[in-house]
Structure 1
Amino acid sequence: MAPIYETVRLLSASLPSEVALIGYAGAPWTVATYMVEGMGGGETDHAIIKQWALSDPSGFQPLIDMLTIAVTQFLGRQIEAGAEAIQIFESWAGILPEPFFRRWCVQPVANIIEALRQRYPHIPVIAFPRAAGLLYQGYAQATHANCIGLDSTVPLGWASGAIQRRLGRCIQGNLDPQLLVVGGQALAADAERILRHASEGPFIFNLGHGILKTTQPEHVAALVRKVRAWRS
C-alpha cells in the first residue's frame, strides 16, 4: 500500500490550504462483497455472499472482523500521511435485511470510527450507507459519524429533519451522477434544489454515488462554479 500513502503525502504537501484532502476506504461489508464475488460491474445480485452471510453468520463473522481491522489501519495510515478527513463507503448497504445490516454494516463502521477517534480525535469522519433507506437515521446515530453521505434516492427534507436537526450531524450529497453526465439546465436545476433544501444545516455538496466514466469534465467544472457561487 506504500504507493497510496506516498500519493496522499504528495497531495497533502501540494494542495492549497483551503482545499481539504479526504481519505477513503470501502466499509468491511462492501469490501467483503468484492472479495467473494469480484467487482461485477454492478450487475451481480450478491447471491453468493448473501447465502454465506445469512446461512452461516458465525462463519462469516471472522471475515468482517479481519476487514474491520484492515480498514481501520488503512485509514489511519492515510491520516498520518496527511488526509484531513476520511470517508467510509458502504456501497452495498441496501442489500441486507435489517438485522444483518445492523450486524455487518452498522457495527463494523461504528468500531472503525471509535478506533480512529481514539488515535485521531480531530479528524472528521463521513460515512455513506448507500440505499439504506429508512435505516439511515439509525445508522447515523449508532456509528457516531460526523457526517452522513446520502444516495440520490434520499429525500432531502427528511434527511434535513432526521439527521441535520434531530441528530445535529452534517449531511453530504446527493446529486444523481447521471445528471452530471446530462449537464445543462437539468444539472443546474437539480443542483439548485439540493443547495436550497440542504443548506439550512451543516452540508457538503456531493454526488449520490461515484462519478460515471462518461461524465464530461466541462460538466464537472460548471457544477463546481455553480456550487461555489451559490448563496442562500
Structure 2
Amino acid sequence: MTDKPILRVLSGESVWPPPVWLMRQAGRHLPEYRATRGVAGSFMDLCLNPELAAEVTIQPVRRYGMDAAILFSDILIVPWAMGQGLTFAEGEGPRLPPITDQAGLDKLDVAGAAARAEPIMETVRRVRAGLAKDHPNTTLIGFAGSPWTVACYMVEGKGGGEFKHARRMIHDNPALFGALVEKLEAATLAYLLAQADAGAEALMLFDSWAGQLAPNAFRKWVIEPNKRLRAAIKAARPDMPVIGFPRLAGPMLAEYAAETGVQAVGMDTAMNPAWAAANVPKNVALQGNLDPEVLIAGGAALRREAESILAAMKGRPFIFNLGHGVEITTPPEHVVELLQILRAA
C-alpha cells in the first residue's frame, strides 16, 4: 500500500479526484526555470548538472503541488551517451551526425553509455531525496525515448519534419534499422534500470513520433520494441510501473495498451477520451489529455474541457495531464486554475 496517488493509479486503482502532473511542467513557462537555465548556460549543461537539473525537476512540485515530478532531461541523452554527437542549436533544436550506414552504427558504444549518463543518475538521487524530505506523497517518474522515436532523430540528424529518411530506411534497409533499434533497446534498458536503481518510482516511454507509421510498421517498430523493453524491466524490477506514450497512435492506442504490458498509456491531444475509455483495457490506466492551448486560454474554455475529460474518465484508473507539453506562453495562474478545477471534482 502507498499514500502516493500516482502509484495507486498505476497499480490499477481509480483515485478521485485524479492525480495530476503536466508534461514539460518543469520548463520555460516558469520564471524560476528561466533563472536557473540562465545560471546553467546551455540546455545540455543544465541536463548534465545534477544540482541544477534536480532544482528544475522539483520547481513545479514546489510551486503547484503536483502529484509527480518527472526527471528533467531529454530523450536524446541515450544516443549522446552512446557517443553520437549531439548539440542543440538555439531556435533550431537538436543536431546529430546522421546514421546512414553500418560505419555510423558501428561507432555507437552501448557498453560505455551507462557511465557517461551518470550525471543523470545523480540528478535522480537528488530529486528522490528532496521529494522524500519535502513532498513525501509525490512520485518520481524517470523516462526515456522509445526506440522508434529516438532512431528517427539518429537517422535524420535533427527533429521536425516527417522523418522521411527513417521511414524510408525501414523499407529500404530494414536490417540496418533493426540493428540500430537493437542497440537502442539495450542502451535504453540499461538507462531506465539505472534510473530505477537511483530512485525513480515509475518509468515513462515517450514514443513521440509513433503516429508517423502505418499499422503494420507501427506494430513492428513501436509495439514490439516497447513490449520487449517492458518485459525486460519487469524481469529486473517486477514492481516497477511503466507508462507508455505512443503519440498520435489513434486507434492503435488500444492495441499498444493490450500488447505492450504497460500500466498506463498517455492520450495525446487528438485522442477522444471517451473512445479511449471504452477501448483501452480497463486494467490499463489512462493519462492525458488537455490541449495545451486551452491551458493558455484559461477561463470558461479551460473549465469546459477539463470537466469533459473528467466525465469520460470517472470510474477508471486515470492521471490528469496534457496531451502534449506545457507551452512557454502558459500563464502559471492558469495552471493553478486547472488544479482548483481538478481538486473540486
TM-score tier after normalising by the smaller chain length: over 0.9
- Higher normalized helix content (fraction of residues): 1
Q: Do the aligned partners of 1:164 and 1:202 also contact (CA within 8 Å) in 2?
A: no
Superimposed CA distance per residue, residues 58-117 of structure 1 (whole angstroms, 9 cap, x where no aligned partner): 221000111111111111111111111111010000111111111110111001110000
Partner in structure 1 of residue 119 of structure 2: 3
Q: Do the aligned partners of 1:164 and 1:201 also contact (CA within 8 Å) in 2?
A: no
Distance 1:113 1:192, change over 3 A: same
Task: Quote the RMSD (CA, aligned, Å).
Answer: 1.3
Alignment TM-score, normalising by the size of structure 2:
0.63
Partner in structure 2 of residue 118 of structure 1: 235
Q: Counterpart amino acid of 2:293? A: Q
The reply on whether 1:57 has 2:57 as its aligned counterpart is no
Corresponding residue SS for 2:280: helix
Q: Do the aligned partners of 2:258 and 2:281 also contact (CA within 8 Å) in 1?
A: no
Give the gaps of 5 or more residues in structure 1.
none
Partner in structure 1 of residue 218 of structure 2: 101
Q: Which structure would you say has the larger Rg?
A: 2
- What is the aligned-residue identity percentage? 42
Corresponding residue SS for 1:133: coil
Quote how far apart the aligned CAs of 1:157 are: 1.3
Give the gaps of 5 or more residues in structure 2.
1-116
Distance in 2, Cα, partners of 1:56 & 1:69:
21
Distance in 2, Cα, partners of 1:230 & 1:84:
27
Partner in structure 2 of residue 24 of structure 1: 143
Q: Which runs of 4+ in 1 moved over 3 A?
A: none
Quote how far apart the aligned CAs of 1:213 are: 2.1
Match among 35, 46, 55 for residue 154 of structure 2: 35
Number of residue pairs aligned between Structure 1 and Structure 2: 226
Partner in structure 2 of residue 174 of structure 1: 289
Quote how far apart the aligned CAs of 1:218 are: 2.0
Distance in 2, Cα, partners of 1:226 & 1:24:
28
Q: Counterpart amino acid of 1:230? A: A
Superimposed CA distance per residue, residues 3-54 of structure 1 (whole angstroms, 9 cap, x where no aligned partner): 21111111101111110111111100001111122443x3x12111111122
Quote how far apart the aligned CAs of 1:196 are: 1.5
Corresponding residue SS for 2:139: coil
The reply on whether 1:163 has 2:280 as its aligned counterpart is yes
Superimposed CA distance per residue, residues 164-207 of structure 1 (whole angstroms, 9 cap, x where no aligned partner): 43xx2111111112212222221122111111211220000011
Partner in structure 2 of residue 194 of structure 1: 309
Partner in structure 2 of residue 230 of structure 1: 344
